[in-house]
Amino acid sequence: MLNIENLKAKIDNKEILKGLNLNINSGEVHAIMGPNGSGKSTLSNILSGKKGYEVEGTVSFEGENLLELETEERAHKGIFLAFQYPLEIPGVNTNTFLKTSINAIKKARGEKELDAIEFLKLIKQKSLELKFDEKILSRQLNVGFSGGEKKKNEILQMSILDPKLSILDETDSGLDIDALRIVSEGVNSLRNNKKSFLIITHYQRLLDYIKPDFVHVLKNGQIIKSGDYELAKELEKVGYEDFN
């Protein structure tokens, strides 16, 4: 599904990714762990098309050159980034935003757009499935949301937009145990053999709730080791500093 080869990225002439390779197949859950400054967020930004990076190497998504696509085209193709810090958008009602978003994607995919009733039905159903209080959806997008509510909102968007590849950028940061459990259950309920996940995290903690198939260690702009869930445990014991 996603194939990254020798990915290099610079910002303001500073090299952040220094030749990264990664292959994710349908239905797989990959975790990337790494210390601060290792390039984790840069990787998620580049995959979702954020501007401002000088990029080399190839990234293909379902056989297509991802790097040539605009941010919104990547969303249309089925890439979703759950933000580490979801942005607050004052004056924009969350429901309005969700409807605009899902219909933009449906339109691009040549599917029929949802009318108000179909949309509300979908929202109700998804909120119920994910055990989210749909009341927050009538508020302004992320404005005044707690850290947990923001992350839950990201997962709800992920569930509604039905992506093929979901990238979770430090979704666990700022979450208490209860919120972490709810968010993880949400992610787990979306897992199936067609959907893939790339979970970017600092700590092993999140991986206790969302068991990955593969764990990669990102250090200094490269993946220095790959393994299974056991690798995460080992990493937690040894620490990033001494891990080689």
Partner 1 sequence: MENNLKLNFEDYLNEKNLTNSQKEIKESNFDNFIKNGFPNKRIEDWKFSDLKQIISTNFDNINFLNREIASSIDESLIDDLEHNKIVFINGVISKIDFSYESEDKIIVEQNSNLEKELSDNVMLNLNTAFVSNYTKILVKSGYQFQKPLFLFNYLTKDLNNAGLNSRLDINLEDDVALNVVNLSNENLNNNFLNYRQKINIGKNSILKNYSLDTNENSNFRYSYKDIYLEKNSHLEYFILSKGSKFSKHDINCFLNNEYGSIVLNGIIDLNNEKHHEIKTEINHNEENCKSYQLIKSVLNDSSKGIYQGKIYVNSKAQKTDGYQLSRALLLSDEVEFNAKPELEIYADDVKCSHGSTSGNIDENSIFYLMSRGLSYDQSKKLLTNGFLNEVIEKITNENIKSLVKKLTGINE
Q: Which is nearer to partner 1, 30 or 77 (by Cβ)?
A: 77
Residue with tokens 């303001």, as numbered in its chain: 12
Q: What is the three-class DSSP state of 226?
A: strand
Residue corresponding to tokens 């580490």: 84
Q: Which of 39, 61, 80, 221 binds partner 1 (CB under 8 A)?
A: 80
Residue 113 or 228 having the CB closest to partner 1: 113
Helices (H), the chain: 40-48, 71-77, 94-108, 116-129, 147-161, 177-190, 205-209, 229-238
Beta bridge partners of 2: 24, 61
- In terms of CB distance, is 75 or 207 closer to partner 1? 75
Q: Which of residues 97-136 bind partner 1 (CB under 8 A)?
A: 97, 100-102, 104-105, 108
Using CB under 8 A as the binding rule, whether residue 91 contacts partner 1 is answered as: yes
Helix (H) or strand (E) holding 24: strand 14-24
Structural tokens at position 130 = 């994910």
CB of 2 to partner 1, least distance (A): 16
Q: Which of 30, 40, 74, 151 binds partner 1 (CB under 8 A)?
A: 74
Give me the least distance between CB of 82 and partner 1, in Å please. 10
- CB nearer partner 1, residue 96 or residue 146: 96
Q: Which two tokens stand for residue 51?
A: 């501007």
| CB of 123 vs partner 1, minimal distance in Å | 15
Long-range contacts of 42-46 (CB under 8 A, 24+ apart): 42/9, 42/11, 42/16, 42/17, 43/7, 43/17, 43/200, 43/218, 44/81, 44/167, 44/169, 44/198, 44/200, 46/7, 46/9, 46/17
Cα dihedral 9, 243, 32, 13, rounded to 10, equals: -10
Selected from 86, 147, 148, 174, the binder of partner 1 by CB under 8 A is 86
| Binding letters toward partner 1, positions 166-205, x by CB under 8 A | ----------------------------------------
Interaction mask 49-68, partner 1, x per CB under 8 A: xxx-----------------
Q: Give the integer Cα–Cα distance in Å for 48 and 41.
A: 11
Q: Are strands 165-169 and 196-201 parallel, antiparallel or unpaired?
A: parallel
x-marked contacts with partner 1 along 32-51 as a string, rule CB under 8 A: ----------------xxxx
The site for partner 1, by CB under 8 A, has a size of 32
Q: Which residues here bind partner 1, judged by CB under 8 A?
A: 48-51, 70-72, 74-76, 80-81, 83, 86-87, 89-93, 96-97, 100-102, 104-105, 108, 140-141, 157, 161
